[in-house]
Structures are given as structure tokens and as C-alpha cells.
Amino acid sequence: MVSTPREWPTFEILLDEVEKCKRKFQAFSLTPIPRTKNKRPDKLAECSRSALRWLGRDVAVFTCDPAGGFDDKACNNYCKTQGYPGGYCGGPVVAEPDKKNCICKSKHKM
């Protein structure tokens, strides 16, 4: 990867960092490990990549009129249409008794 960077375009932005790190050590080598022999770290990396999809998302918060009530179904539908598959209503804290806010979140467990 380091000796033939054109073959690894995905890692091109990291090559400068690799070069800086290499200069700090007398010996440096990279050894490829097949995914089949690296299952736990591979699963961790997979989970972190799926979590990154949500990092750039805005959290939609709806405040309802205290006299007008709260429409859970409408809020849930909105959250789902905005790409939050686990959209749900529950306020800043799910245990909040009066449910005055609707927050679109992902229920995806990592």
C-alpha cells in the first residue's frame, strides 16, 4: 500500500500521516491480515463505519403547542421519511412524562 499508493486511492489521504510515522521509527513494516483471521477488529470497524452515516445528520426537534397535544404518529412518520429508520418520539429524555418534543433518532444499536 505504501510502496504503490496509486493502487490504494482510498488511503491516499492517509499516506502523509503514514510517512510522518515511518520517520519516527528505525524499522517499519505493514503486514496484511486476512479478514477471516481478524474477525473481531473487522466487526468493530464495520460497526464504526455504519455509525458514521449518522454523525453528519441534524437532529430534528419538534416542539408542540402545550394546548394542542402531541401527535406521536406524525412525528414518527416524519422522522422515517427523513432517513431515520428508527425514528421515534420521546423528548430529550425518553422518560420525560409530558412528551413536549419529538426527536428523530436512530434506534440502530452499535
pTM higher than 0.85 for the full model? no
Classify residue 51: in a domain, yes or no.
no
Classify residue 23: in a domain, yes or no.
yes
Domain span at residue 23 reads 1-33
Half-sphere exposure in the Cβ direction for 82 (13 Å, CA): 20
Classify residue 47: in a domain, yes or no.
no
Q: Which pLDDT tens digit goes with each residue over 25-47?
A: 888 777 888 878 888 887 777 77
Binning pLDDT at 50, 70 and 90, where does residue 18 land?
A: confident
Classify residue 42: in a domain, yes or no.
no
Instruction: Report the number of distinct structural domains present in the chain.
Output: 2
Classify residue 98: in a domain, yes or no.
yes
Percent of the chain topping pLDDT 90: 0
Classify residue 67: in a domain, yes or no.
yes
Classify residue 38: in a domain, yes or no.
no
Question: According to the model, what pLDDT value does residue 50 have?
Answer: 62
Distances (CA, A) of 4 to 7, 8, 12, 28, 35: 6, 7, 10, 16, 21
